[in-house]
Structure 1
Amino acid sequence: MMEKTFRNYDQSDVTAAVREHYRKMRKNQTVEYVGRMHEKYLTFDKPMDLWDAMAHLNDLIDVSDPDLNLPNVQHLIQSAEAIRADGRPDWMQLTGLIHDLGKVMFLWGSDEDGTSQDEQWGTVGDVFVVGCALPDTCVYPEFNSLNPDMRDDRYNSPTGIYEKGCGLDKLELAWGHDEYLYQVLSKHEENALPEEAMVMIRYHSFYPWHTGGSYTELLSDKDRYYLEIIRDFNKYDLYTKSQKTYDLEQIKDYYQPIAEEYLGQGPIYW
């Protein structure tokens, strides 16, 4: 499959569900909503083994993805195996394997929050900054005007509530699996993943920035380094998608020692 065929949201066979997903996401992901989700989900009181979390993604298909309709665990293994085949570092292989693991939020999610199996607009999809103007590089930019914050003068300017040049790490992004996993791993005492891995996890869905070139007013010098990291990882996140499937148990023998090296042997608290 040629790279240009990926992320084509105008193709005739993209389901109406993808477009409806982004309409809901753009309408509901506000500053107030993101704050509520941080309070609700960043409790770190639900212990779960890494491999149990991986297995749960056998039950989730990402409704926002126009490229793949397989259970999400297959995308994770495809990414990790491509990184492995290229001889990249073991920590990066593990990052490929777990980068979407925040989607286990659906286990304790709700339709109202957009964090369930049926309503995923608070879990998956390209994220954007809340608290400042929405750029036209968002998927389906015609939905930007539906966001109530865009009618609030505090939030509808290019910098909004942020200082110019403050940097990515000081921005509040739309709530989803990226930020959830990043926060969970940040609190995980046994986490020994390098900074590069944490950047890949936190910003891989931030397409308006790393692919669209938006938010230049808010970026810092360090973000140029972040961009190199994300563009490198994106090759494996996006262009490895295929209909090839794997057995989680069969790849576990290889990845488990790597997971124990960087994440320890105990449960992760979600």
Structure 2
Amino acid sequence: MEKTFRNYEAVDVSAAVKEHYRKMRTKQTVDYVQRMHKKYLTFDKPMPLFEAMAHLNKLIDVSDPDLDLPNVQHLIQSAEALRADNRPDWMQLTGLIHDLGKVMFLWGSDEDGTSQDEQWGTVGDVFVVGCALPDTCVYPEFNALNPDMADPRYNTPTGMYEEGCGLDNLTLAWGHDEYLYRVLANHKENTLPEEAMVMIRYHSFYPWHTGGSYKELLCDKDEKYLEIIKDFNKYDLYTKSQKVYDLDEVIDYYRPIAEKYLGTGPIYW
């Protein structure tokens, strides 16, 4: 029988998943996201790529109803599926690194939702802050808990944005996607194509790419973005399984690709 993914109403979805989304919806406001940008986008912590990957052996994504393995396994599963389909080497690398922003837990805090125990500022489906929350969010009953939804500056369909401004001009809930995107955008040796950066930045933006929300804010370029994300999503979501890989055994294949697109020096987190 085909496995069903992302069933948040299943009887075996843990209470921790639902509580995670309650906290995320309650605490991820415009003010919070601005504070996280100021706190985490300092790019002053050098760490090699594969060292960052190894740290994800210690992190299980509490928001994920489909997989309870350390997050590094999900990354290898995604990359190996792309490799098996003979997708371009840059896309294989993107699969391997797309969740690496979760290393934020190494210097995160419970208060910010960026620690190993409190992950509501690191993982989970993201949404736009500064405008009305759509009912395509997971557990939309939590939308009303967000303080910004009582603020007339932020509770309309366009909120603080111009109609048709495009995805790149929106502020998304803080998490690993935006963090890794900003880290790589700051990395001078990065030569990954734009498609890879789109995959990294928007893969958790389910209310848009799967829910069809935020039409008032989209621009023409975002149609291409949607094609890119839907292609990548097949390898992000539908490759999840209980198969376990040894990171050391796959590094030899991926290291030359990583050096080709990201150079040989450390990445500054």
Q: What TM-score results when the alignment is normalised by the length of structure 2?
A: 1.00
Q: Distance in 2 between matches of 1:252 and 1:137?
A: 38
Letter of the 1:231 partner, please give it.
K
Q: Distance in 1 between matches of 2:118 and 2:126?
A: 16
Map 1:76-87 → 2, pairs under 5 A: 76-87=75-86
| Aligned residue in 2 for 1:146 | 145
- Tell me, yes or no, if structure 1 residue 6 matches structure 2 residue 5: yes
Where has structure 1 moved over 2 Å in runs of 4 or more? none
Q: Distance in 1 between matches of 2:21 and 2:254?
A: 34
TM-fit CA distance, 1:2 = 2.1
TM-fit CA distance, 1:227 = 0.1
| Aligned residue in 2 for 1:183 | 182
- Tell me, yes or no, if structure 1 residue 21 matches structure 2 residue 20: yes
Map 1:117-266 → 2, pairs under 5 A: 117-266=116-265
Q: Structure 1 regions of 5+ residues with no counterpart?
A: none
For the aligned residue pairs, the C-alpha RMSD in angstroms reads: 0.5
- Tell me, yes or no, if structure 1 residue 104 matches structure 2 residue 103: yes
Q: Distance in 2 between matches of 1:109 and 1:232?
A: 32
Letter of the 1:254 partner, please give it.
Y
Number of aligned residue pairs: give it: 269
Letter of the 1:165 partner, please give it.
G
Residues 55-106 of structure 1: CA deviation (Å, up to 9, x unaligned) = 0000000000000000000000000000000010000000000000000000
Q: Secondary structure at the match of 2:174?
A: coil
TM-fit CA distance, 1:256 = 0.2
TM-fit CA distance, 1:186 = 0.1
Q: What TM-score results when the alignment is normalised by the length of structure 1?
A: 0.99
TM-fit CA distance, 1:115 = 0.1
TM-fit CA distance, 1:54 = 0.2
- Tell me, yes or no, if structure 1 residue 31 matches structure 2 residue 44: no
Q: Secondary structure at the match of 2:168?
A: helix
Letter of the 1:222 partner, please give it.
K
Letter of the 1:267 partner, please give it.
P
Q: Distance in 2 between matches of 1:215 and 1:73?
A: 32
Letter of the 1:189 partner, please give it.
K
Percent of counterpart pairs with the same letter? 83
Map 1:32-51 → 2, pairs under 5 A: 32-51=31-50
